[in-house]
Amino acid sequence: MTEAGSASGAGTIPPGLGMDADNLHRLGQTPVFDPVRVEEVINRYRGKRWVLIPLLQEIQEVCGYIPPALIPRIAEAVGMFPVQVQGVISFYSQLHTEPRGKKVVTVCRGTACHVRGGRSILKVVKEHLGIEEGETTPDLEYTLETVACIGVCALAPNMMVGRTTYGSLNPSKVARILGRPKAASGGD
Amino acid sequence: MNKVTITLDGREVTGMPGETILDLARESGINIPTLCHHPLLSPNGACRVCLVENERNGALLAACVTPIEPGMMINTRSPRVLERRRQIVELLLASHPDTCMVCDKGNRCELRCIASEMGVGMLRLERIPQYGAIVDANPFLVRDLGKCILCGRCVKADQELVVEGALDFLGRGFGTRPATLQEVPFEHSECTFCGTCVSVCPTGALRERDALTSGSTSEQVHTTCPFCGCGCSVVLEIRGDRIIRARPGTESPVNQGTLCVRGAYGFDFVHSPERLTTPLVRRGAHLEPASWEEALSLAASGLRRLREESGPDSLAVLGAPTGTNEENYLLQRFARTVLGTPHIDNGARLHRAPSYTGVGGTLGYPGTIGTIRDIECAEVILVVGADPAASAPAVAYAIKRAVTRKGARLLLIEPRRTQLVRFASLWLRPRPGTDIALLNGLANAILAEGLVDPDLVTTRTDGFAELVSTLQRYTPAAVASLTGVTEGELVQAALAFGSAARAALVYGGGVTRARRGTDTVKALANLALLTGNVERKGTGLYALQTRNNAQGACDMGAVPDFLPGYCSVEDSAGRQKFEERWRTRLPAGRGLSASEALAAAVAGRVKGMLIVGENPLGYFPDPFAVEHGLKCLEFLVVQDLFLTETAALATVVLPAASFVEKEGTFTNFEGRVQPVRQALPPRGESRPDWQILLSLAEAMGAPLPFASVTDIEREILELVPFYEAPSLGLEAGLPTREAEPWARRRLHERLFPSTFGRFLPVEYVPEEEPSQEFPLTLVTGSSLYQFGTGMRTSRSSRLSSLVPRAYVEVSAADASVQGIWDGEQVRVVSALAAVEAVAKVCADQPAGVVFAPLASPEARFNRLFPAVIDPQSSLPVLGHVAVRLERGRLDD
Ligand code: SF4
Ligand code: SF4
Ligand code: SF4
Ligand code: FES
Ligand code: FES
C-alpha cells in the first residue's frame, strides 16, 4: 500500500532474481542460468532500437526461458515499459516465462500421425518423462509439447527432440531416443 | 503539398495527404461509427467498426487508419459495409456479459450506443464465455474485463498520455486482456490512479469505484482543478447537490485529456461533513455558531477598533493561492484601501517569491516563460529540484511524453530517486545545498565548450563580463569536490544542455523552498540566457507551482512588495496610477510578509490579522513560533472551508465556499487564465470569499465598488496590463486556448521588457556541515496523494484512504548503520523538534539524505524547520534541515 502510495516510488518489481528463485525453489531447483552471460547479452542490446525480439530470443537461449524478474531490466535496456515487454513475450508462443527443459520433445498429433498410432507414442513419451503436456521434468532436461503437424507425414508417427525429427516411431525407438528409463521405474 | 480529392458517399471532397478517411469524413459532416479510435491516441485499427468500402476495387477499409488516396470512391453506408459492421458489433456483444442494464457506464458506454444505433439487439450468436471482474482493492477504479472489447484505448492512454506504463495487453487470441505487470492488482502496479484510462474506456470494463451507480448525470460543468499549479481542465458531472465524477477536459492544451489522482478522485472534500456551514464567534474559550450579521459586525468592529487605536499598520492580511484571481485582487485592495495596511501576503509566495525575484531580475518577466506544449517540443529538458510526478503531474506527463515519443533527453538534478529517474539520460545528485555550485559549474563548462548563444549574449544582455568572471572559479574539478557530482557527469550534462537546439529548464520546490532559492533561480536564468534558451518555441524556464493559483495570487498583487501586475510598491509613479483609480492614498513602502507580521505580533506591533483560506500553522516552519504569534494577536478573523488549526485560534471564523460553489478565474503556472465555474450552491450558509470581503468592507463603512465577480474582473483587466481580454474565460465556452493573448506574451515577443536580459551572477555559499548530533539532511517534497497542508485531500474519502502513514525515506546505507528496518517506527529529530514517522528504506537514496513529504497531516515535518528567513525573498526556508533518526516512538 505504501509503495503505491508514494507517487514517485521506483518500480514495484525489485531488481534481482528474487521471484525466480522462489519459483525454482518450489520446483526444488536453483537458478540454472549464468547471470554474467545474461548481463552481457542485455548490455550488448542496450540502447539499440527494434531489438526486443532478438534480445528475448537470446535470453531464452541462455536461460532456457525468460525469467520474469529480468523483464524490468530488459525493458530498461531497450527503453520500454516492463509491461510492454511482458505483453510482447506473451504474444509469441515461442517465448516462455517458465523454466523449460534443455530439450523440447514435440510429439505430433496431426491426422497422419494419429492414424498411425501417434496417441500411444505420446502416452509412451509421457510415461518415460513422467510429465504431462506443457510440463518440464524436475531436472530441467525435458519439456513436453505437442504440435498439429511436423510436415513429414510420410514417416508418421513423428516427433521432434530439439531440432531433430524422428520418424516411424514405436515404443522401443522412443525409449532409445530419449535415452532414459521410464520415469515411473525410478531415476538413475 | 498537393491536396487529395476523393469521392465520399457520392460527393467530391478534398483533404490533405496523410489524413485518414475518418478525418475527412468527420470534416465533411459524415458520421462513421468508431470504437477503438480516440482523437487523443495514436490510431489502432483494432475494432473494424469503422469499415467503409472503396467502390473502385471493393476493398473494405478501416476508415480510422486508412489514409486517403487520390481517386478513392468511398461508400460509408453500402449494404455490404452495414452488414459487416453489424456482424462485428454482434460479435462484440456475443462476448459481452448481459449486465448492461445495471452497468455503471450507462449511456456513456460507446458499445451500447453503437449497438442501439445499428439496431443490434437480440443476439443470434452463441455466447462466448469471458473473464470475470478482477479484484482490485484500490479505492479508485474497478476492472471488469468481461466487458472489455480489446480496443486498446486504456493501454494507449496509459502509455501515450500519462506514460506510466501500468498497462499493456497480455496473452494472445481469446485470452488477450489488458493487464499489469505480473497481473498484480492496480495498487501494486505502476498505476498512479490518474483515471485517464477510465475516461477513455468505451465500455464498462474500466470504471471508477463508488460513482453513484448507473445512469447519466444531469449536469456537466467545465472548470479548473483547484489542487496544483498545472491548472488542468476538468468536467464535473453533477447530480443533485453532488459531484458524481470528474473527467479530464479533452480540449485543454494543459492536460490534454489527462488528470492526476487528485483531479480525478479528490474533489469530494467539498462534500465533507467537516465543512464549516455557519459563522463562528468566540465566546470565552469556545467558538460558537453565530449569524452572519453578528459575525460580520464583530469582525468589522474588531478590525476598525484596532485601526483607530493602533493605526492601520497594526493590521496584517494573509491570503491563499486557493482563492480565485478576483478574490486575491479584492483581498489586496481590501487590505490596502479599506484597512489601509501595506502588510498583505499570501501563502503562494512561499514558493513563488524566489521565482519572481530571480526571474524578474534576469529575464525581466516574473514568471514561467513558455507553455507545457513548449516543454514537449524541447530536445533537452533539464529538471532541477523537482518531482513533478508528485507536485505537478501534468508537467511530468509532458516531460515523459517528450522523452518517450519525441526522443527528448532528460537531465535531472535531484538528490532523490523520483519517478522521472527512469526516463532520464543523466541523473546528477548534488549534495543538498550545493545546487548553485553545480549550476555555475554547468554554465562554466558551457562557456568553456563555446556553446553560448553569441548573438543573444552580445547584443541583448547585460552583465556578461561579470558572469564570466564569477564563473571562472567553478571549474569542473572545484564543482565536483563541492557537489559530489563527478567531473565527467558535469561535462556530459553541460555538453548535452549547451548543444541542444531547444532546451527547457524546469525547476520546483527543491529550488524555491531551499535556502538561497532566489540565487538558485538566478543561476538557472543565467543558464537559460547563456544558451539562448529563451524567446523561442521549445525553450524556456518553468517554475512549477505546487499550489493552484500561486501565479494568480502574486499577479494580483496579494504580496507585500508588489501592487497588481508586479508594480513595485516603491515605484511612486506606478503607485500613483492605483491611487488615482482607487481614489485613496496607498501606504508607501514595502509591507511585512506573513512570517514578519507574525514576528511583529509577538513584538506587539501587529495586533489584528485577517487570514483567508490559509493555514500557516500547518505550513510554515517552526509552527510553535507561528502559534505564539497568532496567540499574541488581539484579534484574528479567518475565512476558510474547514476549522483548521489556525481557524481554531480565531475570534471570528467565516465559512467560505469551495471552488465548485463560486465563479472566477485561476491562473496556472504557465500564466494561462482559466475559468472557475459554479456547479453547486454554497454549502450551508457558506459564502464565496469575495462576497465575504465585500460584506466586510461594507460593515467597516468603506464599501468597495463591486457587485459581482465580473465587476472585479473588469478592474483587473484595466489595471493589470497582461490580463488582457479575452483571456479571462468566464463567458467563453471552454478554457482558454493557445492562440489567445497571454500566449503571445509568454511566447516571448516582449520577453525583455527593458529590452535587455540581465545576467545576475551568484556565488555558492557553503552551509554548515552536518554535525555529529544531527548527521543527516532531511529534504522535503510533495506527495501525490496528499496536498498542501492536506486540508482538502485528507477530507477526500478516496484519497485519504490511500494515504500512507507519515513516512520518511532513508537510504539503505544509513538504515543499516543505525539498524533501522523498513517499516519501522522512527523519530525524526532536528534541533527544534521531533516528528514520528515510518521508515521506508530505499536502496538508491544517497547516504546522508532522508526525505519526507511536507504535506503529512499526521506528521507536520514543518515543525523540524527553524524559522530562517531568506533575506532576498523574505521567505521562511523549508528546503532541508539537519536531523538524526532514532528508533521508536515519540513517547518511548
Ligand atoms: S489510472 Fe492512469 S496510471 Fe493507472 S492504469 Fe489508468 S492510465 Fe495508467
Ligand atoms: S479495458 Fe476498456 S479501454 Fe481497455 S481495451 Fe478493454 S474496452 Fe478498451
Ligand atoms: S495535475 Fe494538478 S491541476 Fe492537474 S489534475 Fe492533478 S492536481 Fe489537478
Ligand atoms: S501429421 Fe504428423 S507429421 Fe504430419
Ligand atoms: S475505430 Fe477504426 S478500427 Fe476501431
Most A CBs within 10 Å, among B154, B170, B172, B190, to test the A interface: B190
- The CATH number linked to A139 is 3.40.30.10
Q: Output the nine-digit C-alpha cell for B806.
A: 507519515
Kindly state whether residues B787 and B716 are assigned to the same domain. Answer: no
Q: Can you give the residue range of the structural domain that contains A171?
A: 103-185
In this predicted model, which residue has the larger pLDDT, B108 or B178?
A: B178
**What is the per-residue burial (b if ≥16 Cβ within 10 Å, else e) of B711-721?**
ebbebbeebbe
Q: Output the nine-digit C-alpha cell for B372.
A: 507545457
Stretch B317-335: mean pLDDT, rounded?
95
Rg (C-alpha) for chain A, rounded Å, is 20
Query: Which of A145, A158, A169 has its CA nearest to residue A112?
Result: A158
> What would the pLDDT profile of B234-278 be if each residue is shown by its tens digit?
999 998 888 988 999 988 889 999 999 999 998 989 999 999 999
Task: State whether residue A146 is helix, strand or coil.
Answer: strand
Query: Which of A114, A120, A113 has its CA nearest to residue A166?
Result: A113
Burial of B798 (0-12, 13-18, 19+ CB in 10 A): buried
Tell me if B101 is assigned to some domain: no
Tell me which of B89, B153, B161, B162 to substitute to probe ligand 2's pocket, judged by most ligand atoms within 8 Å of the beta carbon: B153
Start-to-end C-alpha separation, chain A: 49
State the pLDDT confidence band at B123, using cuts at 50, 70 and 90: low
Of A7, A83, A91, which has the smallest distance from its Cβ to B181's Cβ?
Answer: A83
Burial of B407 (0-12, 13-18, 19+ CB in 10 A): exposed
Kindly state whether residues A67 and A119 are assigned to the same domain. Answer: no
pLDDT at B259: 96
- The CATH number linked to A50 is 1.10.10.1590
Residue after which a domain boundary falls, among A61, A91, A121: A91
pLDDT at B396: 97
- Residue B202 neighbours by CB under 8 Å, 6+ apart: B35, B36, B109, B110, B111, B149, B151, B153
Kindly state whether residues B443 and B517 are assigned to the same domain. Answer: yes
> Is the omega angle on the peptide bond into residue A35 within 30 degrees of 0, that is, cis?
no
Min Cα separation A120/chain B (Å): 30
Residue after which a domain boundary falls, among B509, B543, B577: B543
Residue after which a domain boundary falls, among B493, B525, B543: B543
> What would the pLDDT profile of B649-684 be if each residue is shown by its tens digit?
999 999 999 999 999 999 999 888 888 999 999 999
Kindly state whether residues A129 and A175 are assigned to the same domain. Answer: yes
Q: Output the nine-digit C-alpha cell for B514.
A: 531551499
Residue after which a domain boundary falls, among A32, A62, A91: A91
pLDDT at B745: 46
pLDDT at B567: 86
| d(C-alpha B476, C-alpha B459), whole Å | 28
State the pLDDT confidence band at B744, using cuts at 50, 70 and 90: very low
pLDDT at A2: 32
| d(C-alpha B881, C-alpha B514), whole Å | 10
pLDDT at A29 over 70: no
Pair B302, B533: CB distance under 8 Å? no
- The CATH number linked to B528 is 3.40.228.10
For residue B782, the chain A residues in CB contact (below 8 A) are: 7
pLDDT at A185: 43
Kindly state whether residues A58 and A108 are assigned to the same domain. Answer: no
pLDDT at A4 over 60: no
Stretch B683-701: mean pLDDT, rounded?
96
State the pLDDT confidence band at B804, using cuts at 50, 70 and 90: low
- Residue B743 neighbours by CB under 8 Å, 6+ apart: B371, B672
State the pLDDT confidence band at A3, using cuts at 50, 70 and 90: very low
State the pLDDT confidence band at B728, using cuts at 50, 70 and 90: very low
Rg (C-alpha) for chain B, rounded Å, is 29
pLDDT at A15 over 50: no
| d(C-alpha B614, C-alpha B322), whole Å | 8
Of A8, A9, A81, which has the smallest distance from its Cβ to B165's Cβ?
Answer: A81
Tell me if B798 is assigned to some domain: yes
B236, HSE (Cβ side, Cα atoms, 13 Å): 26
Around Cβ B619, how many Cβ atoms within 10 Å?
26
pLDDT at A167: 92
Tell me if B753 is assigned to some domain: no
Stretch B584-612: mean pLDDT, rounded?
93
Tell me if A1 is assigned to some domain: no
Tell me if B102 is assigned to some domain: no
Strands (E), B677-804: 757-758, 776-781
B461-462 and B344-346 beta bridge pairing: unpaired
Query: Which of B117, B152, B118, B207 has its CA nearest to residue B37?
Result: B152
State the pLDDT confidence band at B781, using cuts at 50, 70 and 90: confident
- The CATH number linked to B861 is 2.40.40.20
Kindly state whether residues B377 and B479 are assigned to the same domain. Answer: yes
pLDDT at B837 over 60: yes
> What would the pLDDT profile of B394-406 be if each residue is shown by its tens digit?
999 999 999 999 9
Query: Which of A57, A69, A8 has its CA nearest to residue B261?
Result: A8
Considering A3-7, A65-69, B333-337, the range whose residues carry the highest mean pLDDT is B333-337
- The CATH number linked to B683 is 3.40.50.740
Is the shortest distance between the CB of A69 and ligand 4 below 6 Å?
A: no
Kindly state whether residues A107 and A81 are assigned to the same domain. Answer: no
Considering A93-107, B654-668, B850-864, the range whose residues carry the highest mean pLDDT is B654-668
pLDDT at B806: 79
Task: State whether residue B591 is helix, strand or coil.
Answer: coil
Around Cβ B505, how many Cβ atoms within 10 Å?
28
Burial of B83 (0-12, 13-18, 19+ CB in 10 A): exposed
Q: How many CB pairs under 8 A join A and B?
A: 101
Kindly state whether residues B604 and B722 are assigned to the same domain. Answer: yes
State the pLDDT confidence band at B843, using cuts at 50, 70 and 90: confident
pLDDT at B127: 53
Kindly state whether residues B496 and B595 are assigned to the same domain. Answer: no
User: What is the distance, to the nearest Å, from the Cα of residue B624 to the centroid of all Cα atoms in its chain?
Assistant: 29
| d(C-alpha B328, C-alpha B342), whole Å | 15
State the pLDDT confidence band at A88, using cuts at 50, 70 and 90: very high
Q: Which residues 74-93 of A are in CB contact (within 8 Å) with B?
A: 76, 79, 81-84, 86-87, 90-91, 93
Of A71, A81, A90, which has the smallest distance from its Cβ to B172's Cβ?
Answer: A90
pLDDT at B427: 95
pLDDT at B386: 92
- Is A91–B171 a contact, with Cβ atoms under 8 angstroms apart? yes
Strand arrangement of the beta sheet that strand B141-144 belongs to: B133-134, B141-144, B206-208
Kindly state whether residues B258 and B341 are assigned to the same domain. Answer: no
pLDDT at B129 over 80: no
Q: Output the nine-digit C-alpha cell for B160.
A: 501515450
Tell me if B358 is assigned to some domain: no
Tell me how long chain A is: 188
Report percent pLDDT > 70 for chain B.
90
Kindly state whether residues A114 and A143 are assigned to the same domain. Answer: yes
In this predicted model, which residue has the larger pLDDT, B512 or B278?
A: B278
Tell me if B95 is assigned to some domain: no
pLDDT at A10 over 80: no
Q: Can you give the residue range of the structural domain that contains B39?
A: 4-77
pLDDT at A13: 31
Is the shortest distance between the CB of B34 and ligand 5 below 6 Å?
A: yes
Kindly state whether residues A136 and A69 are assigned to the same domain. Answer: no
Stretch A161-183: mean pLDDT, rounded?
85
Kindly state whether residues B244 and B174 are assigned to the same domain. Answer: yes
Kindly state whether residues A86 and A108 are assigned to the same domain. Answer: no
Kindly state whether residues B315 and B249 are assigned to the same domain. Answer: no
State the pLDDT confidence band at B456, using cuts at 50, 70 and 90: confident
Q: Is the dihedral of CA B23, B29, B33, B36 positive or negative?
A: positive
Kindly state whether residues A73 and A38 are assigned to the same domain. Answer: yes
Pair B208, B244: CB distance under 8 Å? no
- Is B179–A84 a contact, with Cβ atoms under 8 angstroms apart? no
| d(C-alpha B490, C-alpha B499), whole Å | 14
Which residue stretches of B567-719 are H helix?
572-582, 594-602, 616-619, 623-632, 689-699, 709-719
Count of domains in chain A? 2
In this predicted model, which residue has the larger pLDDT, A174 or B356?
A: A174
Choice among A121-130, A168-177, B601-610, B739-748 with the minimum mean pLDDT? B739-748
Kindly state whether residues B694 and B559 are assigned to the same domain. Answer: yes
> What would the pLDDT profile of B201-236 be if each residue is shown by its tens digit?
999 889 887 655 445 567 889 999 999 999 999 999
Tell me if A34 is assigned to some domain: yes
Count of domains in chain B? 5
Residue after which a domain boundary falls, among A91, A111, A134: A91
In this predicted model, which residue has the larger pLDDT, B194 or A187?
A: B194
Tell me if A49 is assigned to some domain: yes
Kindly state whether residues B197 and B324 are assigned to the same domain. Answer: no
pLDDT at B874: 65
Tell me if B201 is assigned to some domain: yes
> What would the pLDDT profile of B783-800 be if each residue is shown by its tens digit?
777 666 667 777 777 777
- The CATH number linked to B233 is 3.30.70.20
Min Cα separation B81/chain A (Å): 30
Rounded to the nearest integer, the mean pLDDT of chain B is 87
| d(C-alpha B809, C-alpha B74), whole Å | 61
Kindly state whether residues A123 and A165 are assigned to the same domain. Answer: yes
Stretch B109-122: mean pLDDT, rounded?
80
Tell me if A98 is assigned to some domain: no
pLDDT at B479 over 50: yes
For residue A94, the chain B residues in CB contact (below 8 A) are: none
Burial of A132 (0-12, 13-18, 19+ CB in 10 A): exposed
- Is A12–B189 a contact, with Cβ atoms under 8 angstroms apart? yes
Kindly state whether residues A121 and A176 are assigned to the same domain. Answer: yes
Residue type, B98: D
Kindly state whether residues A23 and A86 are assigned to the same domain. Answer: yes
Search chain A and give the residue with CA nearest B173.
A91
Tell me if B766 is assigned to some domain: no
- Is A6–B804 a contact, with Cβ atoms under 8 angstroms apart? yes
**Is A115 an interface residue toward B (CB < 8 Å)?**
no
Report percent pLDDT > 90 for chain B.
53
Kindly state whether residues B558 and B489 are assigned to the same domain. Answer: no
β-partners of residue B337 are none
Kindly state whether residues B587 and B669 are assigned to the same domain. Answer: yes
pLDDT at B539 over 60: yes
Tell me how long chain B is: 892
Closest residue by CA, ligand 1 atom 6: B197
Kindly state whether residues A54 and A86 are assigned to the same domain. Answer: yes
Task: State whether residue B836 is helix, strand or coil.
Answer: strand
Q: Output the nine-digit C-alpha cell for B588.
A: 508607501
